[in-house]
């Protein structure tokens, strides 16, 4: 089976970090977002993948080839961001098996993929959400998905499509995508994968729902930090540092230089960082950053940033009350 991974997005909601780095390469937990996805695929026996690149695509190719040399990776460029359906259509020449697994490159999931693939039908990963208007949503009847609607103003259900698609008949998907392109069928101005899947349903292809609890968004600063919390809660590690107080869970890369700090909870210190004389909690410090005499909470410190704070001198009288902002 081949995985199809769209990673062409600009990541405008994660600026300024995405000015110089694709959003899928932002660190969360002990590795970039994309690294978590690839590790999960390899652990599940999927060693072929097509990456649909665009913005800063060379950096994605460089990362994948260096971090995962065992992955049989192909790259296709989506020259215009014309919707998810267009992205998958761009990758269609690499469909070399009846079965494909489409997974969005900016989400992390906790799913047993072998169970997910154990189906006689196509499968879509769904999650019940409170605000489905920003998702494609599914109507399920009798254990089958009957209808899909892309980002409805009035949602017919709360079952959101969360970016995991197991397609048993890649040829049928290509036929549906080709129909979208030839007839210029668009929703909200874009060629939508949801519309292609609906064409497959209309032609008799069966789709089963798979309800997912462990789905973690990385598309905004606040969701990136909450996903970092989740990942550290299940897997954290750090060297013993005599001059630091560690409030678990914390991840500190073995190449980082850290001294005289109070770290955590939920703090990630990336590779080759230098951090000293600081208090940091619920924060991601990206690789190569240099932090000195700082107090951070709910923060994302970009790659190779240099931030130097300072101590404050005070001489206060009795019963003083001072807020430092």
What does the alpha-carbon distance between residue 36 and residue 221 come to, in Å, rounded to a whole number? Answer: 18
| Residues 92, 113, 162, 39, CA torsion sign | negative
- Is a pLDDT exceeding 80 seen at residue 180? yes
Q: For residues 119-124, give the mean pLDDT.
A: 95
The answer to whether 287 and 305 are in contact (CB under 8 A) is: no
> Which pLDDT belongs to residue 126?
95
> Which pLDDT belongs to residue 96?
85
- Is a pLDDT exceeding 90 seen at residue 188? no
What does the alpha-carbon distance between residue 296 and residue 278 come to, in Å, rounded to a whole number? Answer: 8
- Is a pLDDT exceeding 90 seen at residue 10? no
Band of residue 9 on the pLDDT scale cut at 50, 70, 90: confident
Q: For residues 214-222, give the mean pLDDT.
A: 89
Residues 265-314: tens digit of each pLDDT = 999 999 999 999 999 999 999 999 999 999 999 999 999 999 999 888 88
Residues facing 3 on adjacent strands: 49, 101
- Is a pLDDT exceeding 90 seen at residue 107? no
Unique residue bearing structure tokens 């789905």:
215
Q: Range with the lowest mean pLDDT among 91-100, 130-139, 248-257?
A: 130-139
> Which pLDDT belongs to residue 311?
86
> Which pLDDT belongs to residue 121?
95
The answer to whether 276 and 309 are in contact (CB under 8 A) is: no
Band of residue 161 on the pLDDT scale cut at 50, 70, 90: very high
Q: What is the CA radius of gyration of the chain?
A: 22
CA 106 vs CA 7, 216, 251, 285, 325: distances in Å: 8, 9, 21, 19, 34
3-state secondary structure of 248: coil
What does the alpha-carbon distance between residue 101 and residue 43 come to, in Å, rounded to a whole number? Answer: 15
Band of residue 187 on the pLDDT scale cut at 50, 70, 90: confident
Unique residue bearing structure tokens 């397609």:
167
Backbone φ and ψ of 179, nearest 5°? -65, -45
The answer to whether 196 and 165 are in contact (CB under 8 A) is: no
> Which pLDDT belongs to residue 136?
86
- Is a pLDDT exceeding 80 seen at residue 98? yes
Band of residue 134 on the pLDDT scale cut at 50, 70, 90: confident
Domains of the chain in sequence order: 2-217 (3.90.550.10), 236-308 (2.160.10.10)
Copy the structure tokens of residue 322: 């001072």
- Is a pLDDT exceeding 80 seen at residue 141? yes
Residues 50-73: tens digit of each pLDDT = 999 998 999 999 999 999 999 999
> Which pLDDT belongs to residue 232?
96
* Model confidence, pTM: 0.91
**CA neighbor of 229 nearest in space, from 164, 135, 300, 291:** 300
The answer to whether 26 and 51 are in contact (CB under 8 A) is: no
**CA neighbor of 294 nearest in space, from 285, 74, 207, 268:** 285
Copy the structure tokens of residue 51: 């990456």
């Amino acid at each position: 089976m081949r995985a199809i991974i769209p990673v062409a997005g600009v990541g405008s909601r994660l600026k300024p970090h995405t000015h110089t780095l694709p959003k899928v390469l932002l660190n969360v937990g002990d590795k970039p977002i994309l690294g978590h996805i690839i590790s999960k695929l390899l652990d599940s026996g999927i060693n072929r993948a097509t990456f649909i690149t665009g913005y800063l695509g060379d950096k994605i190719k460089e990362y994948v080839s260096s971090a995962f040399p065992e992955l049989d990776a192909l790259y296709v460029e989506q020259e215009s961001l014309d919707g998810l359906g267009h992205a998958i259509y761009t990758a269609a020449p690499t469909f070399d098996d009846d079965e494909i697994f489409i997974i969005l490159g900016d989400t992390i999931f906790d799913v047993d993929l072998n169970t997910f693939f154990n189906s006689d039908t196509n499968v879509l990963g769904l999650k019940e959400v409170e605000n489905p208007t920003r998702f494609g949503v599914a109507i399920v009847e009798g254990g089958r998905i009957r209808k899909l609607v892309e980002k409805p103003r009035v949602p017919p259900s709360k079952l959101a499509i969360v970016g995991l698609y197991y397609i048993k008949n890649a040829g049928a998907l290509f036929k549906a995508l080709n129909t979208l392109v030839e007839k210029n069928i668009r929703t909200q101005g874009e060629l939508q994968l949801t519309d292609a899947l609906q064409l497959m349903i209309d032609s008799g292809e069966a789709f089963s729902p798979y309800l997912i609890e462990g789905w973690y968004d990385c598309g905004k600063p606040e969701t990136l930090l909450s996903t970092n919390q989740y990942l550290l809660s299940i897997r954290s590690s750090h060297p013993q540092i005599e001059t630091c107080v560690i409030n678990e869970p914390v991840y500190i890369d073995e190449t980082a230089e850290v001294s005289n700090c109070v770290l955590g909870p939920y703090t990630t210190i990336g590779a080759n960082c230098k951090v000293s004389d600081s208090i940091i909690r619920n924060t991601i410090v990206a690789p190569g950053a240099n932090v000195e005499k700082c107090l951070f909470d709910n923060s994302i410190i970009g790659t190779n940033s240099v931030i130097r704070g300072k101590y404050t001198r005070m001489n206060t009288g009795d019963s003083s009350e001072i807020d430092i902002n």
